[in-house]
Structure 1
Amino acid sequence: MQKLFTFLLSKSLGLYINILGYIYPKKASWLAYKFFSHPRDGRLIKESLPDILKEADAEMITHNDFLFQMYTWKGNDTKVLLMHGWESNASRWEQLIGYLKKSGSTIVAVDAPAHGLSSGAEFNIPQYAEFVNIVVQKIKPQYLIGHSLGGAAAIYFQSHYPNDYITKMAVLGAPSDLTTILRNYKGMLSLNSNVFKLLEQHFFEHFRIKTHEFSGSIFVTKIRAKGLIAHDTQDTVVSFKEAEKIAKAWPEAKFITTTGLGHSLHGDALYNSIYSFLFDTE
Protein backbone atom coordinates (compact mmCIF):
# COMPACT_ATOMS: atom_id res chain seq x y z
CA MET A 1 0.00 0.00 0.00
CA GLN A 2 2.82 2.41 0.87
CA LYS A 3 4.58 1.70 -2.44
CA LEU A 4 1.35 2.34 -4.34
CA PHE A 5 0.82 5.63 -2.49
CA THR A 6 4.40 6.73 -3.22
CA PHE A 7 4.00 5.78 -6.89
CA LEU A 8 0.76 7.73 -7.29
CA LEU A 9 2.17 10.72 -5.42
CA SER A 10 5.27 10.77 -7.64
CA LYS A 11 3.27 10.58 -10.84
CA SER A 12 0.81 13.26 -9.66
CA LEU A 13 3.67 15.55 -8.74
CA GLY A 14 5.29 14.95 -12.11
CA LEU A 15 2.07 15.75 -13.95
CA TYR A 16 1.70 19.00 -11.99
CA ILE A 17 5.30 20.03 -12.79
CA ASN A 18 4.83 19.12 -16.47
CA ILE A 19 1.77 21.37 -16.75
CA LEU A 20 3.49 24.13 -14.80
CA GLY A 21 6.45 23.95 -17.19
CA TYR A 22 4.37 25.46 -19.99
CA ILE A 23 2.77 28.18 -17.84
CA TYR A 24 5.42 29.14 -15.27
CA PRO A 25 8.71 27.55 -16.41
CA LYS A 26 10.80 29.15 -13.66
CA LYS A 27 8.56 27.77 -10.93
CA ALA A 28 8.50 24.39 -12.64
CA SER A 29 12.30 24.19 -12.76
CA TRP A 30 12.52 25.26 -9.11
CA LEU A 31 10.01 22.61 -8.02
CA ALA A 32 11.70 19.92 -10.10
CA TYR A 33 15.05 20.77 -8.54
CA LYS A 34 13.59 21.01 -5.03
CA PHE A 35 12.17 17.49 -5.10
CA PHE A 36 15.40 16.25 -6.70
CA SER A 37 17.71 17.78 -4.08
CA HIS A 38 15.71 17.78 -0.82
CA PRO A 39 16.03 14.45 1.04
CA ARG A 40 12.95 13.16 2.84
CA ASP A 41 14.79 10.72 5.08
CA GLY A 42 18.13 10.38 6.87
CA ARG A 43 17.64 12.90 9.66
CA LEU A 44 18.63 12.09 13.24
CA ILE A 45 17.43 13.36 16.61
CA LYS A 46 20.23 14.37 18.97
CA GLU A 47 18.47 12.92 22.01
CA SER A 48 18.06 9.47 20.44
CA LEU A 49 21.15 8.77 18.36
CA PRO A 50 22.00 5.21 17.27
CA ASP A 51 24.35 3.49 19.74
CA ILE A 52 27.27 3.48 17.31
CA LEU A 53 27.18 7.29 17.17
CA LYS A 54 26.88 7.60 20.94
CA GLU A 55 30.24 5.82 21.20
CA ALA A 56 31.96 8.52 19.16
CA ASP A 57 33.22 11.96 20.07
CA ALA A 58 30.77 14.33 18.38
CA GLU A 59 31.77 17.74 17.08
CA MET A 60 29.70 20.32 15.23
CA ILE A 61 31.65 22.27 12.60
CA THR A 62 30.51 25.71 11.48
CA HIS A 63 31.09 26.64 7.85
CA ASN A 64 29.54 29.85 6.52
CA ASP A 65 25.86 29.58 7.52
CA PHE A 66 25.90 25.81 7.89
CA LEU A 67 26.47 23.43 10.76
CA PHE A 68 27.96 20.03 9.97
CA GLN A 69 28.16 17.07 12.30
CA MET A 70 31.35 15.03 12.63
CA TYR A 71 31.87 11.84 14.67
CA THR A 72 35.26 10.48 15.74
CA TRP A 73 36.15 7.05 17.07
CA LYS A 74 39.64 7.73 18.41
CA GLY A 75 42.58 5.49 17.58
CA ASN A 76 46.09 5.98 16.30
CA ASP A 77 47.45 8.56 13.87
CA THR A 78 46.09 6.74 10.82
CA LYS A 79 42.70 8.25 9.94
CA VAL A 80 39.84 6.98 7.80
CA LEU A 81 37.10 9.39 6.67
CA LEU A 82 33.64 8.02 5.82
CA MET A 83 31.07 9.72 3.54
CA HIS A 84 27.50 8.33 3.44
CA GLY A 85 25.02 8.78 0.63
CA TRP A 86 21.48 10.02 -0.11
CA GLU A 87 18.86 9.84 2.65
CA SER A 88 21.30 8.24 5.06
CA ASN A 89 23.62 9.39 7.85
CA ALA A 90 26.86 8.47 9.61
CA SER A 91 25.27 5.50 11.38
CA ARG A 92 25.11 3.55 8.08
CA TRP A 93 28.78 2.70 8.64
CA GLU A 94 28.17 0.72 11.85
CA GLN A 95 29.12 -2.66 10.38
CA LEU A 96 32.20 -1.40 8.54
CA ILE A 97 33.41 0.53 11.58
CA GLY A 98 33.70 -2.79 13.44
CA TYR A 99 36.19 -3.94 10.82
CA LEU A 100 38.11 -0.69 10.64
CA LYS A 101 38.58 -0.60 14.41
CA LYS A 102 40.70 -3.77 14.17
CA SER A 103 43.40 -1.68 12.49
CA GLY A 104 43.62 0.65 15.51
CA SER A 105 42.95 3.61 13.22
CA THR A 106 41.03 6.75 14.06
CA ILE A 107 37.70 6.65 12.25
CA VAL A 108 35.81 9.80 11.32
CA ALA A 109 32.32 9.96 9.80
CA VAL A 110 30.28 12.98 8.77
CA ASP A 111 26.61 13.76 8.29
CA ALA A 112 26.11 15.22 4.82
CA PRO A 113 24.20 18.47 4.27
CA ALA A 114 20.50 18.04 5.13
CA HIS A 115 21.21 14.63 6.72
CA GLY A 116 21.76 13.35 10.24
CA LEU A 117 22.33 16.31 12.54
CA SER A 118 23.81 18.59 9.87
CA SER A 119 21.86 21.68 8.90
CA GLY A 120 20.27 22.62 5.60
CA ALA A 121 17.42 21.30 3.50
CA GLU A 122 19.29 20.72 0.24
CA PHE A 123 21.85 18.10 -0.76
CA ASN A 124 24.21 18.59 -3.65
CA ILE A 125 27.62 17.13 -4.41
CA PRO A 126 29.62 20.38 -4.73
CA GLN A 127 28.40 21.57 -1.30
CA TYR A 128 29.13 18.16 0.25
CA ALA A 129 32.65 18.25 -1.21
CA GLU A 130 33.21 21.79 0.07
CA PHE A 131 32.35 20.68 3.60
CA VAL A 132 34.49 17.55 3.33
CA ASN A 133 37.42 19.75 2.31
CA ILE A 134 37.06 21.60 5.63
CA VAL A 135 37.14 18.27 7.47
CA VAL A 136 40.12 16.95 5.47
CA GLN A 137 42.16 20.07 6.16
CA LYS A 138 41.28 19.69 9.84
CA ILE A 139 41.98 15.98 10.41
CA LYS A 140 44.30 15.12 7.47
CA PRO A 141 43.02 11.56 6.78
CA GLN A 142 45.02 9.03 4.78
CA TYR A 143 41.99 7.06 3.60
CA LEU A 144 38.56 8.01 2.27
CA ILE A 145 35.50 5.78 1.81
CA GLY A 146 32.23 6.87 0.22
CA HIS A 147 28.95 5.04 -0.46
CA SER A 148 26.46 5.82 -3.23
CA LEU A 149 26.20 9.60 -3.70
CA GLY A 150 28.80 9.84 -0.93
CA GLY A 151 31.11 7.90 -3.24
CA ALA A 152 30.31 10.23 -6.12
CA ALA A 153 30.98 13.19 -3.81
CA ALA A 154 34.27 11.60 -2.72
CA ILE A 155 35.38 11.39 -6.35
CA TYR A 156 34.29 14.98 -6.98
CA PHE A 157 36.09 16.15 -3.84
CA GLN A 158 39.37 14.39 -4.62
CA SER A 159 39.39 15.75 -8.18
CA HIS A 160 38.40 19.34 -7.31
CA TYR A 161 40.28 19.65 -4.01
CA PRO A 162 43.56 17.83 -4.71
CA ASN A 163 45.61 17.14 -1.59
CA ASP A 164 48.58 15.12 -0.40
CA TYR A 165 46.78 13.62 2.60
CA ILE A 166 44.56 10.98 1.03
CA THR A 167 46.54 8.11 -0.50
CA LYS A 168 43.73 5.54 -0.90
CA MET A 169 40.00 5.83 -1.47
CA ALA A 170 37.20 3.26 -1.76
CA VAL A 171 34.05 4.05 -3.74
CA LEU A 172 31.05 1.81 -3.04
CA GLY A 173 27.90 1.66 -5.18
CA ALA A 174 28.51 5.10 -6.64
CA PRO A 175 26.83 6.62 -9.71
CA SER A 176 29.05 8.16 -12.37
CA ASP A 177 26.99 10.52 -14.52
CA LEU A 178 24.67 13.28 -13.33
CA THR A 179 22.76 12.86 -16.59
CA THR A 180 21.96 9.25 -15.65
CA ILE A 181 20.73 10.31 -12.20
CA LEU A 182 18.53 13.00 -13.75
CA ARG A 183 17.09 10.59 -16.31
CA ASN A 184 16.19 8.16 -13.53
CA TYR A 185 14.51 11.02 -11.69
CA LYS A 186 12.70 12.02 -14.88
CA GLY A 187 11.38 8.47 -15.25
CA MET A 188 10.32 8.23 -11.61
CA LEU A 189 8.12 11.36 -11.90
CA SER A 190 7.33 10.91 -15.64
CA LEU A 191 8.65 14.38 -16.36
CA ASN A 192 8.46 15.49 -19.98
CA SER A 193 11.38 16.67 -22.12
CA ASN A 194 10.50 20.32 -21.58
CA VAL A 195 10.87 20.06 -17.78
CA PHE A 196 14.04 17.98 -18.18
CA LYS A 197 15.60 20.80 -20.21
CA LEU A 198 14.46 23.32 -17.58
CA LEU A 199 16.12 21.21 -14.88
CA GLU A 200 19.39 21.06 -16.84
CA GLN A 201 19.17 24.83 -17.29
CA HIS A 202 18.70 25.24 -13.53
CA PHE A 203 21.95 23.39 -12.86
CA PHE A 204 23.83 25.66 -15.25
CA GLU A 205 22.30 28.93 -14.05
CA HIS A 206 22.75 28.21 -10.33
CA PHE A 207 25.87 26.03 -10.24
CA ARG A 208 27.51 26.58 -13.64
CA ILE A 209 27.23 22.82 -14.12
CA LYS A 210 26.81 21.37 -17.60
CA THR A 211 25.11 18.12 -16.70
CA HIS A 212 26.72 16.08 -19.50
CA GLU A 213 30.17 17.08 -18.20
CA PHE A 214 29.42 16.25 -14.55
CA SER A 215 30.73 12.70 -14.51
CA GLY A 216 32.78 10.56 -12.17
CA SER A 217 34.40 8.96 -15.22
CA ILE A 218 35.82 12.39 -16.05
CA PHE A 219 36.71 13.38 -12.49
CA VAL A 220 38.70 10.21 -11.68
CA THR A 221 41.20 11.00 -14.42
CA LYS A 222 42.48 13.78 -12.16
CA ILE A 223 42.87 11.59 -9.05
CA ARG A 224 46.31 10.43 -7.93
CA ALA A 225 45.18 8.35 -4.95
CA LYS A 226 44.92 4.57 -5.30
CA GLY A 227 41.35 3.44 -5.74
CA LEU A 228 38.97 0.59 -5.00
CA ILE A 229 35.59 0.44 -6.73
CA ALA A 230 32.91 -1.93 -5.44
CA HIS A 231 29.47 -2.48 -6.97
CA ASP A 232 26.82 -5.18 -6.87
CA THR A 233 25.64 -6.69 -10.15
CA GLN A 234 22.06 -6.72 -8.79
CA ASP A 235 22.03 -3.12 -7.56
CA THR A 236 18.54 -1.77 -8.36
CA VAL A 237 19.31 1.76 -7.16
CA VAL A 238 22.50 2.56 -9.08
CA SER A 239 23.12 0.60 -12.26
CA PHE A 240 26.20 -1.63 -12.43
CA LYS A 241 27.03 0.15 -15.69
CA GLU A 242 27.82 3.28 -13.69
CA ALA A 243 30.63 1.46 -11.86
CA GLU A 244 31.94 0.13 -15.17
CA LYS A 245 32.21 3.70 -16.47
CA ILE A 246 34.26 4.74 -13.44
CA ALA A 247 36.45 1.63 -13.58
CA LYS A 248 37.17 2.09 -17.28
CA ALA A 249 38.34 5.67 -16.69
CA TRP A 250 40.32 4.72 -13.57
CA PRO A 251 42.30 1.68 -14.78
CA GLU A 252 44.68 1.65 -11.82
CA ALA A 253 41.78 1.26 -9.39
CA LYS A 254 40.86 -2.23 -8.17
CA PHE A 255 37.32 -3.20 -9.28
CA ILE A 256 35.39 -5.58 -7.01
CA THR A 257 32.00 -6.95 -8.07
CA THR A 258 29.53 -8.56 -5.70
CA THR A 259 26.24 -10.38 -6.26
CA GLY A 260 23.37 -10.33 -3.80
CA LEU A 261 24.50 -7.48 -1.54
CA GLY A 262 22.33 -4.96 -3.36
CA HIS A 263 22.93 -1.24 -3.11
CA SER A 264 23.78 -1.27 0.61
CA LEU A 265 26.89 -3.42 0.01
CA HIS A 266 27.03 -4.80 3.54
CA GLY A 267 29.00 -8.05 3.54
CA ASP A 268 31.89 -9.70 5.36
CA ALA A 269 33.84 -10.62 2.23
CA LEU A 270 33.62 -7.09 0.86
CA TYR A 271 34.56 -5.53 4.19
CA ASN A 272 37.60 -7.82 4.41
CA SER A 273 38.60 -6.72 0.90
CA ILE A 274 38.27 -3.05 1.87
CA TYR A 275 40.32 -3.67 5.00
CA SER A 276 43.05 -5.41 3.01
CA PHE A 277 43.10 -2.64 0.40
CA LEU A 278 43.56 0.04 3.04
CA PHE A 279 45.87 -1.57 5.55
CA ASP A 280 47.81 -4.42 3.94
CA THR A 281 51.25 -3.34 2.75
CA GLU A 282 52.09 -4.30 -0.80
Structure 2
Amino acid sequence: MDLAVTVVRTALNGVSYVSPGLAGRAAFRLFRKPRGRSRLRPDERPVMDRAEVGEIAVGGEKAVSYRWGTGERPVLLVHGWESRGSRFAALVGELVELGLSPVAFDAPGHGEATGESMTILDLRDIIVELDAAHGPFETVVAHSLGVTATFVAVRERGVRTERIVAISGVPDFAYLVDRFCAGLGLRARLHSGLRGRVERELFPGEEDIWSRFSVPRTGVEGASFLVVHDEDDDLVDPVHSRALADGLGDRAELVVTRGLGHRRILGDPQVAAAVRDFAVRERAGREAEPNPSPQPAAG
Protein backbone atom coordinates (compact mmCIF):
# COMPACT_ATOMS: atom_id res chain seq x y z
CA MET A 1 0.00 0.00 0.00
CA ASP A 2 1.16 3.54 -0.77
CA LEU A 3 2.91 5.12 2.25
CA ALA A 4 0.83 8.31 2.05
CA VAL A 5 -2.39 6.28 2.05
CA THR A 6 -1.17 4.30 5.06
CA VAL A 7 -0.37 7.49 6.97
CA VAL A 8 -3.77 9.06 6.18
CA ARG A 9 -5.64 5.88 7.07
CA THR A 10 -3.82 5.51 10.38
CA ALA A 11 -4.27 9.18 11.27
CA LEU A 12 -7.98 9.37 10.43
CA ASN A 13 -8.88 6.11 12.11
CA GLY A 14 -6.82 6.97 15.18
CA VAL A 15 -8.25 10.47 15.55
CA SER A 16 -11.80 9.14 15.10
CA TYR A 17 -11.58 7.37 18.47
CA VAL A 18 -10.84 10.55 20.41
CA SER A 19 -12.38 13.23 18.16
CA PRO A 20 -14.92 11.81 15.69
CA GLY A 21 -15.93 15.29 14.51
CA LEU A 22 -12.37 16.31 13.65
CA ALA A 23 -11.70 13.05 11.82
CA GLY A 24 -15.01 13.36 9.97
CA ARG A 25 -14.26 16.90 8.80
CA ALA A 26 -10.81 15.85 7.59
CA ALA A 27 -12.21 12.86 5.68
CA PHE A 28 -14.89 15.04 4.09
CA ARG A 29 -12.33 17.62 2.94
CA LEU A 30 -10.19 14.91 1.39
CA PHE A 31 -13.22 13.46 -0.36
CA ARG A 32 -14.63 16.65 -1.86
CA LYS A 33 -11.47 18.39 -3.06
CA PRO A 34 -9.59 17.21 -6.18
CA ARG A 35 -5.97 16.18 -5.58
CA GLY A 36 -4.39 19.00 -7.56
CA ARG A 37 -5.53 20.51 -10.84
CA SER A 38 -4.88 18.64 -14.07
CA ARG A 39 -2.74 20.75 -16.39
CA LEU A 40 -2.91 21.18 -20.14
CA ARG A 41 -0.54 18.76 -21.89
CA PRO A 42 1.69 19.88 -24.78
CA ASP A 43 0.00 17.49 -27.23
CA GLU A 44 -3.42 18.92 -26.30
CA ARG A 45 -2.49 22.58 -26.80
CA PRO A 46 -2.84 22.76 -30.62
CA VAL A 47 -6.43 21.50 -30.40
CA MET A 48 -7.35 23.73 -27.46
CA ASP A 49 -5.82 26.80 -29.15
CA ARG A 50 -8.32 26.37 -32.00
CA ALA A 51 -11.35 26.36 -29.69
CA GLU A 52 -13.87 29.15 -29.24
CA VAL A 53 -13.77 29.79 -25.48
CA GLY A 54 -16.70 30.84 -23.30
CA GLU A 55 -17.81 30.96 -19.67
CA ILE A 56 -20.67 29.36 -17.76
CA ALA A 57 -21.83 30.52 -14.32
CA VAL A 58 -22.40 27.53 -12.05
CA GLY A 59 -22.56 27.22 -8.27
CA GLY A 60 -21.12 30.68 -7.72
CA GLU A 61 -18.09 29.87 -9.88
CA LYS A 62 -17.22 30.04 -13.57
CA ALA A 63 -16.84 26.97 -15.74
CA VAL A 64 -15.00 27.35 -19.06
CA SER A 65 -16.50 26.04 -22.31
CA TYR A 66 -14.72 25.10 -25.56
CA ARG A 67 -16.31 24.83 -28.98
CA TRP A 68 -15.04 23.66 -32.38
CA GLY A 69 -16.57 23.32 -35.81
CA THR A 70 -19.45 25.09 -37.51
CA GLY A 71 -22.12 24.32 -34.94
CA GLU A 72 -23.70 21.66 -37.13
CA ARG A 73 -24.15 18.18 -35.64
CA PRO A 74 -23.00 19.18 -32.13
CA VAL A 75 -21.38 16.63 -29.81
CA LEU A 76 -20.96 17.22 -26.06
CA LEU A 77 -17.86 15.96 -24.22
CA VAL A 78 -18.29 15.57 -20.44
CA HIS A 79 -15.19 15.07 -18.26
CA GLY A 80 -15.10 13.47 -14.84
CA TRP A 81 -13.41 14.00 -11.47
CA GLU A 82 -9.83 15.34 -11.49
CA SER A 83 -9.93 15.77 -15.26
CA ARG A 84 -10.61 18.55 -17.79
CA GLY A 85 -12.06 19.15 -21.25
CA SER A 86 -8.69 18.94 -22.99
CA ARG A 87 -8.48 15.24 -22.19
CA PHE A 88 -10.80 14.75 -25.17
CA ALA A 89 -8.34 16.51 -27.54
CA ALA A 90 -7.59 13.38 -29.59
CA LEU A 91 -11.29 12.75 -30.08
CA VAL A 92 -12.02 16.38 -30.95
CA GLY A 93 -9.81 16.15 -34.00
CA GLU A 94 -11.58 12.97 -35.14
CA LEU A 95 -15.01 14.53 -34.74
CA VAL A 96 -14.18 17.80 -36.51
CA GLU A 97 -12.86 15.86 -39.50
CA LEU A 98 -16.26 14.15 -39.71
CA GLY A 99 -18.05 17.49 -39.87
CA LEU A 100 -19.27 17.33 -36.26
CA SER A 101 -19.01 20.22 -33.79
CA PRO A 102 -17.55 19.16 -30.44
CA VAL A 103 -18.27 21.13 -27.27
CA ALA A 104 -16.26 20.53 -24.09
CA PHE A 105 -15.76 22.31 -20.76
CA ASP A 106 -13.77 22.58 -17.54
CA ALA A 107 -16.00 22.29 -14.47
CA PRO A 108 -15.29 24.30 -11.28
CA GLY A 109 -12.09 23.17 -9.58
CA HIS A 110 -10.85 21.64 -12.82
CA GLY A 111 -8.79 22.87 -15.77
CA GLU A 112 -9.10 26.61 -16.33
CA ALA A 113 -12.32 27.04 -14.33
CA THR A 114 -12.52 28.91 -11.04
CA GLY A 115 -13.28 27.33 -7.67
CA GLU A 116 -11.85 24.43 -5.72
CA SER A 117 -14.32 21.64 -6.37
CA MET A 118 -17.47 20.53 -8.17
CA THR A 119 -20.49 18.35 -7.47
CA ILE A 120 -22.51 16.10 -9.71
CA LEU A 121 -25.19 18.81 -9.72
CA ASP A 122 -22.63 21.29 -11.07
CA LEU A 123 -21.92 18.88 -13.90
CA ARG A 124 -25.63 18.42 -14.51
CA ASP A 125 -26.23 22.16 -14.66
CA ILE A 126 -23.31 22.72 -17.04
CA ILE A 127 -24.72 20.04 -19.36
CA VAL A 128 -28.10 21.78 -19.25
CA GLU A 129 -26.60 25.20 -20.02
CA LEU A 130 -24.58 23.89 -22.94
CA ASP A 131 -27.60 22.01 -24.25
CA ALA A 132 -29.59 25.25 -24.25
CA ALA A 133 -26.79 27.14 -26.02
CA HIS A 134 -25.59 24.55 -28.53
CA GLY A 135 -27.94 21.55 -28.46
CA PRO A 136 -29.69 19.36 -28.88
CA PHE A 137 -26.54 17.27 -29.04
CA GLU A 138 -26.41 14.50 -31.56
CA THR A 139 -24.08 12.55 -29.27
CA VAL A 140 -22.88 12.93 -25.68
CA VAL A 141 -19.51 11.40 -24.84
CA ALA A 142 -18.93 11.16 -21.09
CA HIS A 143 -16.17 9.78 -18.88
CA SER A 144 -16.23 8.54 -15.29
CA LEU A 145 -18.44 10.75 -13.06
CA GLY A 146 -19.48 12.57 -16.23
CA VAL A 147 -21.43 9.46 -17.21
CA THR A 148 -23.49 9.63 -14.02
CA ALA A 149 -24.08 13.35 -14.47
CA THR A 150 -25.20 12.83 -18.07
CA PHE A 151 -27.85 10.32 -17.03
CA VAL A 152 -29.06 12.68 -14.28
CA ALA A 153 -29.23 15.63 -16.72
CA VAL A 154 -31.30 13.59 -19.16
CA ARG A 155 -33.72 12.36 -16.52
CA GLU A 156 -34.05 15.48 -14.35
CA ARG A 157 -33.67 18.27 -16.90
CA GLY A 158 -34.89 16.71 -20.14
CA VAL A 159 -31.60 16.98 -22.03
CA ARG A 160 -32.09 15.18 -25.34
CA THR A 161 -29.56 13.19 -27.34
CA GLU A 162 -29.63 10.39 -29.87
CA ARG A 163 -26.50 8.62 -28.65
CA ILE A 164 -24.52 8.33 -25.45
CA VAL A 165 -20.95 7.07 -25.15
CA ALA A 166 -20.26 5.97 -21.56
CA ILE A 167 -16.52 5.56 -20.90
CA SER A 168 -15.34 4.12 -17.57
CA GLY A 169 -18.67 5.13 -16.07
CA VAL A 170 -19.20 5.55 -12.32
CA PRO A 171 -22.39 3.57 -11.60
CA ASP A 172 -23.67 5.90 -8.88
CA PHE A 173 -22.56 8.54 -6.41
CA ALA A 174 -22.62 6.08 -3.51
CA TYR A 175 -19.93 4.08 -5.30
CA LEU A 176 -17.53 7.02 -5.02
CA VAL A 177 -18.06 7.28 -1.26
CA ASP A 178 -17.68 3.53 -0.79
CA ARG A 179 -14.51 3.36 -2.90
CA PHE A 180 -13.01 6.35 -1.12
CA CYS A 181 -13.56 4.80 2.30
CA ALA A 182 -12.41 1.35 1.20
CA GLY A 183 -9.27 2.78 -0.40
CA LEU A 184 -8.29 4.48 2.84
CA GLY A 185 -9.45 1.58 5.01
CA LEU A 186 -11.69 3.88 7.06
CA ARG A 187 -13.73 2.60 9.98
CA ALA A 188 -17.45 2.03 9.52
CA ARG A 189 -18.15 5.01 11.78
CA LEU A 190 -16.19 7.34 9.50
CA HIS A 191 -17.87 5.84 6.44
CA SER A 192 -21.33 6.48 7.87
CA GLY A 193 -20.34 9.96 8.99
CA LEU A 194 -19.02 10.84 5.54
CA ARG A 195 -22.30 9.85 3.91
CA GLY A 196 -24.11 12.11 6.37
CA ARG A 197 -21.81 15.06 5.64
CA VAL A 198 -22.24 14.55 1.90
CA GLU A 199 -26.01 14.75 2.33
CA ARG A 200 -25.94 17.80 4.62
CA GLU A 201 -23.07 19.84 3.17
CA LEU A 202 -22.78 18.92 -0.51
CA PHE A 203 -26.48 18.49 -1.24
CA PRO A 204 -28.48 20.42 1.37
CA GLY A 205 -32.20 20.25 0.68
CA GLU A 206 -31.79 17.59 -2.03
CA GLU A 207 -33.87 14.45 -1.62
CA ASP A 208 -32.86 10.83 -2.13
CA ILE A 209 -29.44 11.54 -3.63
CA TRP A 210 -28.30 7.93 -3.37
CA SER A 211 -31.09 6.77 -5.68
CA ARG A 212 -31.24 9.85 -7.92
CA PHE A 213 -27.55 9.95 -8.73
CA SER A 214 -27.47 6.44 -10.13
CA VAL A 215 -26.99 5.26 -13.70
CA PRO A 216 -28.85 1.92 -13.40
CA ARG A 217 -31.82 3.53 -11.65
CA THR A 218 -32.06 6.58 -13.88
CA GLY A 219 -32.62 5.14 -17.33
CA VAL A 220 -32.54 6.93 -20.67
CA GLU A 221 -35.26 6.27 -23.22
CA GLY A 222 -34.69 6.19 -26.96
CA ALA A 223 -30.91 6.67 -27.12
CA SER A 224 -28.32 4.25 -28.49
CA PHE A 225 -25.25 3.53 -26.37
CA LEU A 226 -21.58 2.73 -26.74
CA VAL A 227 -20.22 1.50 -23.40
CA VAL A 228 -16.42 1.45 -23.08
CA HIS A 229 -14.36 0.22 -20.14
CA ASP A 230 -10.83 -1.07 -19.52
CA GLU A 231 -10.19 -4.41 -17.85
CA ASP A 232 -7.37 -2.83 -15.83
CA ASP A 233 -9.38 0.11 -14.48
CA ASP A 234 -8.29 0.49 -10.85
CA LEU A 235 -10.89 3.13 -9.94
CA VAL A 236 -14.17 1.77 -11.33
CA ASP A 237 -14.73 -1.97 -11.63
CA PRO A 238 -15.56 -2.85 -15.26
CA VAL A 239 -18.31 -5.15 -14.00
CA HIS A 240 -20.51 -2.04 -13.71
CA SER A 241 -20.19 -1.18 -17.41
CA ARG A 242 -20.95 -4.78 -18.32
CA ALA A 243 -24.08 -4.60 -16.19
CA LEU A 244 -25.08 -1.31 -17.84
CA ALA A 245 -24.66 -2.75 -21.32
CA ASP A 246 -26.60 -5.89 -20.36
CA GLY A 247 -29.40 -3.79 -18.93
CA LEU A 248 -29.68 -1.71 -22.08
CA GLY A 249 -29.96 -4.82 -24.24
CA ASP A 250 -29.80 -4.34 -28.00
CA ARG A 251 -29.53 -0.55 -27.59
CA ALA A 252 -25.94 -0.88 -26.35
CA GLU A 253 -22.59 -2.02 -27.71
CA LEU A 254 -19.85 -2.91 -25.22
CA VAL A 255 -16.16 -2.31 -25.99
CA VAL A 256 -13.61 -3.70 -23.52
CA THR A 257 -9.99 -2.51 -23.69
CA ARG A 258 -6.91 -3.67 -21.81
CA GLY A 259 -3.88 -1.94 -20.34
CA LEU A 260 -5.29 1.59 -20.42
CA GLY A 261 -6.66 1.98 -16.90
CA HIS A 262 -9.19 4.62 -15.90
CA ARG A 263 -7.62 7.76 -17.40
CA ARG A 264 -5.41 6.83 -20.35
CA ILE A 265 -8.44 5.31 -22.07
CA LEU A 266 -9.52 8.81 -23.18
CA GLY A 267 -6.38 9.41 -25.22
CA ASP A 268 -6.27 5.99 -26.85
CA PRO A 269 -6.53 6.13 -30.67
CA GLN A 270 -8.56 2.93 -30.86
CA VAL A 271 -11.10 4.26 -28.38
CA ALA A 272 -11.35 7.52 -30.33
CA ALA A 273 -11.89 5.51 -33.52
CA ALA A 274 -14.60 3.42 -31.84
CA VAL A 275 -16.45 6.58 -30.78
CA ARG A 276 -16.09 8.08 -34.26
CA ASP A 277 -17.34 4.92 -35.94
CA PHE A 278 -20.27 4.66 -33.53
CA ALA A 279 -21.42 8.18 -34.41
CA VAL A 280 -20.98 7.67 -38.16
CA ARG A 281 -22.51 4.21 -38.23
CA GLU A 282 -25.57 5.21 -36.27
CA ARG A 283 -26.23 8.23 -38.47
CA ALA A 284 -25.56 6.37 -41.72
CA GLY A 285 -27.79 3.51 -40.66
CA ARG A 286 -30.64 5.86 -39.82
CA GLU A 287 -30.36 7.81 -43.08
CA ALA A 288 -30.15 4.63 -45.18
CA GLU A 289 -33.27 3.14 -43.63
CA PRO A 290 -36.16 3.34 -46.15
CA ASN A 291 -39.36 5.05 -45.15
CA PRO A 292 -41.94 2.44 -44.21
CA SER A 293 -44.80 2.02 -46.65
CA PRO A 294 -48.16 3.15 -45.38
CA GLN A 295 -50.15 0.26 -43.95
CA PRO A 296 -53.80 -0.11 -44.76
CA ALA A 297 -56.10 0.70 -41.90
CA ALA A 298 -57.80 -2.21 -40.28
CA GLY A 299 -61.31 -2.61 -41.56
- TM-score, normalised by the number of residues in structure 1: 0.87
Separation in 1, partners of 2:192, 2:112? 34
Separation in 1, partners of 2:128, 2:270? 31
Percentage of identical aligned residues: 23
Partner of 2:11: 16
Could you give the per-residue CA deviations for residues 4-25 of structure 1, whole angstroms, max 9, x where no partner exists?
A: 8xx3222322333324434444
Separation in 1, partners of 2:60, 2:209? 27
Could you give the per-residue CA deviations for residues 36-93 of structure 1, whole angstroms, max 9, x where no partner exists?
A: 1211233448xxx833211111112223521010011122411011111221211111
Q: 1:240 to 1:95 in 2, by over 3 A?
A: same
Matched, 1:154 2:160: no
Q: Which runs of 5+ in 2 are unaligned?
A: 286-299
Separation in 1, partners of 2:194, 2:27? 7
Conserved 8 A contact 1:148-1:172 = yes
Partner of 2:214: 215
Superposition pairs for residues 1-282 of structure 1, below 5 Å? Answer: 7-44=2-39, 50-63=45-58, 65-140=60-135, 141-164=137-160, 166-206=161-201, 207=203, 208=206, 212-213=210-211, 214-219=213-218, 221-251=219-249, 252-263=251-262, 264-265=264-265, 266-280=267-281, 281-282=284-285
Could you give the per-residue CA deviations for residues 222-270 of structure 1, whole angstroms, max 9, x where no partner exists?
A: 4432221111122222211121232233222222222233322243333
Separation in 2, partners of 1:146, 1:83? 4
Conserved 8 A contact 1:85-1:150 = yes
What's the secondary structure of 2:159's corresponding residue? coil
Once the 2 structures are TM-superposed, how far is the Cα of residue 31 of structure 1 from its aligned partner? 2.2
Alignment size in residue pairs: 272
Conserved 8 A contact 2:78-2:147 = yes
Separation in 1, partners of 2:237, 2:59? 35
Once the 2 structures are TM-superposed, how far is the Cα of residue 184 of structure 1 from its aligned partner? 2.0
Backbone CA RMSD of aligned residues: 2.3
Separation in 1, partners of 2:122, 2:180? 20
Could you give the per-residue CA deviations for residues 145-165 of structure 1, whole angstroms, max 9, x where no partner exists?
A: 11122222222222222233x
Q: Which amino acid aligns with 1:270?
A: V
Conserved 8 A contact 2:9-2:184 = yes
Deviates most, 209-218 or 152-161: 209-218
Could you give the per-residue CA deviations for residues 152-200 of structure 1, whole angstroms, max 9, x where no partner exists?
A: 2222222222233x21111111121333322221122221100000011
Q: 1:71 to 1:232 in 2, by over 3 A?
A: same
Q: 1:64 to 1:177 in 2, by over 3 A?
A: closer
- TM-score, normalised by the number of residues in structure 2: 0.82
- Return the index of the structure with the highest Cα Rg: 2
Q: 1:199 to 1:233 in 2, by over 3 A?
A: same
Give runs of ≥4 in structure 1 deviating > 6 Å.
Answer: none
Q: Which runs of 5+ in 1 are unaligned?
A: none
